[in-house]
C-alpha cells in the first residue's frame, strides 16, 4: 500500500535542490534524505527524485564506486534562475514583448543593476 503524500507535486525536487545548493560538497541520497525539512521522504523516493533531476540536467551524479554514489547541483541557484529567464524568453512567441513585460516588473534597484550589467563591456551570448 502506498504511503500518504506529504508534499505537493514538485516540492520534493525543490527541497532536494535546496539541500544540494546549500552544500558545496557532494551528498549521498541518505544525507539528502536526512537534511530534507518536514516529514523525511523514503530513501527510494529520494533516489527517484534524484534520477528525475539528473534527467532534467539539474543534478550531477558522481560515482565514487559501484555502490557509492553522490550528487551535486549542476548549477548554482543564480545560474539556474538565469537559465530559467533565458528559457522563458526563448519560449515566448513575442520575445520583445516578454522582455518589456519583465523589465516593467523590475523595481528601481533591479533596473539599475540591469543597466550597469548591460553597460559593462564583455562577451554576450547570442539569444
Rounded Cα gap, residues 32 and 53, in angstroms: 13
* 3-class secondary structure per residue, 64-127: EECCEEEEEECCCHHHHHHHHHHHHHHHCCCHHHHHHHHHHCCCHHHHHHHHHHHHCCCCCCCC
Residue 76 has what pLDDT?
A: 86
The string of pLDDT tens digits covering residues 87-120 is 889 999 999 999 889 888 999 999 899 889 888 8
pTM of the model: 0.69
The string of pLDDT tens digits covering residues 22-77 is 998 999 999 999 999 888 899 999 999 999 999 999 999 999 888 899 999 999 88
Q: What are the grid coordinates assigned to 32, written together?
A: 539528502
Residue 73 has what pLDDT?
A: 95
Res 1 pLDDT > 50: no
User: All domains of the chain, ordered by start, with CATH?
Assistant: 11-73 (1.10.10.10), 77-119 (no CATH)
Amino acid at each position: 500500500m502506498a504511503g500518504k503524500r506529504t508534499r505537493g507535486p514538485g516540492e520534493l525536487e525543490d527541497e532536494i535542490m535546496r539541500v544540494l545548493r546549500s552544500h558545496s560538497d557532494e551528498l549521498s541520497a541518505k544525507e539528502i534524505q536526512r537534511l530534507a525539512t518536514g516529514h523525511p521522504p523514503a530513501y527510494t523516493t529520494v533516489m527517484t527524485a534524484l534520477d528525475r533531476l539528473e534527467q532534467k540536467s539539474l543534478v550531477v551524479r558522481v560515482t565514487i564506486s559501484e555502490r557509492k554514489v553522490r550528487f551535486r547541483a549542476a548549477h548554482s541557484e543564480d545560474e539556474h534562475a538565469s537559465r530559467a529567464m533565458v528559457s522563458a524568453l526563448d519560449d515566448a512567441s513575442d520575445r520583445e514583448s516578454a522582455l518589456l513585460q519583465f523589465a516593467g516588473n523590475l523595481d528601481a534597484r533591479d533596473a539599475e543593476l540591469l543597466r550597469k550589467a548591460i553597460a559593462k563591456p564583455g562577451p554576450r551570448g547570442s539569444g
